[in-house]
Structure 1
Amino acid sequence: MGDRQAFESLYDATSAKLHAVCLSVLKDRPEAEETLQEVYIKVWQSAARYASNGLSPMTWLITIARNRAIDRLRARSSRPATAPTEAAATVASTEPGPESATIRAQERRLLDECLAQLAEQQAGAVRAVYLEGVTYADLAEREGKPINTVRSWLRRSLLRLKDCVSQ
């Protein structure tokens, strides 16, 4: 009947529950708050239509909130991107963050220090195979050594690198 005091009491008693309903559907707090406002506007405008048919008023309010949140969710998913720049802003960057870049730089520095502790020929073999993608056969040919000798260099070198890095 347009009683503002009654409406305020209704809001105080039900807003937390209805906000939780909207938030559970939308998963976005600002959007849930906007939806809750729309729910109370609808309740204010259509309170006269509420018919006590055995259901509690809270059930009626929850139904309105849930349906309004679902409508908003559907509208959100069917809405096209308004501008390419807005769409581009939502794509995650593939660049490493500052923390990842720092960790990578530290790991690279540690690897370079450990490679420096190897004999020059073995360090060169490790760099060629594991950093440049040279095959064992190509490395053996380039060094003029049997392939099993190159494999032994790499195995021993990797064990030494493992020990160095783990210290």
Structure 2
Amino acid sequence: MKEVVEIGRNPFAGPSLPDLMGEVARGDQQAFASVYDAVAGPVLGIVRRVLRDQAQSEEVAQEVLVEVWRTAARYRRDRGSVMNWVLTLAHQRAVDRVRSVEASAARETKAALLDRTPEFDEVTEQVEARLEREQVRRCLRTLTELQRESVTLAYYRGLTYREVAELLALPLGTVKTRLRDGLIRLRDCLGVTA
């Protein structure tokens, strides 16, 4: 039977934290009370550094200590000290709380912005869309036949430049040039600034 003595620890003071964690894993409430006494202060300290709010820090520290009780069997002595394991849990839980609070604030902000969005006027939208379509049709009529065909095939039928070139039996470079020139003329006709 090997006895592990922690540095700076009185060997007559009782079981070590790893030994106590083994007992906690078996449901020993007295062992948990000893672990609690040893880690509660550092847990609250690390959580408070992350959250900076006393009430939330106390709540998260309590959650961490409950998690230590519930998951004590997951502690592995060969992977590090009890204190590091518990403080890692505490830090993760505090960071999760920060993320949760930020996400909640973002949702509330988004909801507030949606509340201020003006009501949708369907008739106005339909009239504006019809006017825009008519303006686009008028501007398309100002293009050369090759420009109009190229733009229509590429942007209204969704063909690639290569497919447009094959369909029109033209070199790819010619189609690209006609598309570029046609789009420039459309932009100018529609009054869109570059």
TM range (shorter): 0.3 to 0.5
TM-score under structure 1 length normalisation: 0.48
TM-score under structure 2 length normalisation: 0.41
